[in-house]
Amino acid sequence: MSGPIRLAVIGMGKIARDQHLPSIAGNPDFELVATVSRHGEGEPDTPFFHSIEELAASDVKVDAVALCTPPQVRRAIALAAIERGWHVFLEKPPGATLAEVEALNEAAAAKGVTLFASWHSRFAAGVEPARAWLADKAIARATITWREDVRVWHPGQDWIWQPGGFGVFDPGINALSIATCILPRPFFVEEAELDVPENRAAPIAARVSFRDAAGVPIAMDLDLRQEGPQSWDIVVETAAGTLTLAKGGGELTLPQGAAAPPASDLEGEYPGLYARFAALVREGRSDVDVAPLRHVADAFLRGRITQVEPFID
């Protein structure tokens, strides 16, 4: 494909406006040609539609779409795009179930278009250096602490509490996307405790115990009720010392004191995602890694559910 990739963004919520639109504007490989949302408004001087069907019926030329909708409705929209020969960028999590993501991957392959299941936290500044450092280390244990205030990061987003909305695993899957990237061996859920508010269908907190293929324990603590300082940390203890990834992977500290430059919020992650998507489209390839989603599914399969006090947003 020569020239910019003509891209439409579908789902104009907070993440689309805060991260996707600036990253698209800063990447010459893309041209934003439309936005689509059931509610709200589009961007100035950019065609706006209320559905993918309206977009397809228009005279706007589209090569690819970025889906920023809640995961519960994403499969049908993605499939409609694939059937039209459009390349598809899936915001995380890539779908509400493993089966639907696998079906989309098969559909994309049959149609010859790119499907990209994006994991933005893997593009944080400290993640790749952490993976490289851990590759030959003897790991003793790992601890994942992901505690944030849902009122700050998901204000008024009721979908997160619905079946298929993931609850605390919506941010928690970011931690799992990093862990599955940096840890050198596969790991598995042994047990999980899920705290579900009595007025909600998805957990507000979870404790998950994993063990890797060599028997190394990995503990994960997730909570959406954190006030004050937020915690997005992964600590890996090794025979060579302790590695710490803080700020969602943006800040790396190694035993010898070397560290990746600190980053704030999601700076740099989404530009990296769009660079990756452009490369995949131009190379005619897909990238659909479901390992983080599989761990979430396993946590629900093996989880003991405890009902806790109601959550009022």
The confidence band for 264, taking pLDDT boundaries of 50, 70 and 90, is very low
Mean pLDDT of the chain: 94
pLDDT tens-digit readout, 78-103: 999 999 999 999 999 999 999 999 99
What are the boundaries of each domain within the chain?
5-117, 121-260+297-308
pLDDT above 50 (res 161): yes
Question: What's the pLDDT score for residue 156?
Answer: 85
HEC-encoded secondary structure of 152-203: HHCCCCHHHHCCCCCCCHHHHHHHHHHHHHHCCCCEEEEEEEEEEECCCCCC
CATH class of 5-117: alpha beta
Q: What is the pLDDT of residue 68?
A: 96
| DSSP state string for 27-90 | -TTEEEEEEE-SSS---TTS-EESSHHHHHHSS---SEEEE-S-GGGHHHHHHHHHHTT-EEEE
Give the separation between CA 122 and CA 175, rounded to whole angstroms. Answer: 9
Residue 176's identity, in one-letter code, is L
Catalytic residues: 92
Does position 265 have pLDDT exceeding 50, yes or no? no
pLDDT of residue 258: 57
**N-to-C CA span, the chain:** 46
Query: Which CATH number is associated with domain 121-260+297-308?
Result: 3.30.360.10
- Each residue of 23-39: pLDDT tens digit? 999 999 999 999 999 98
30-34, 40-44, 186-190: least confident range: 40-44
pTM: 0.93
Choice among 152-156, 243-247, 264-268 with the minimum mean pLDDT: 264-268
Mean pLDDT of all residues in 200-215: 98
pLDDT exceeds 60 at position 261 = no
CA distance linking residue 71 with residue 68, whole number of Å:
8
- pLDDT-above-90 percentage for the chain: 90
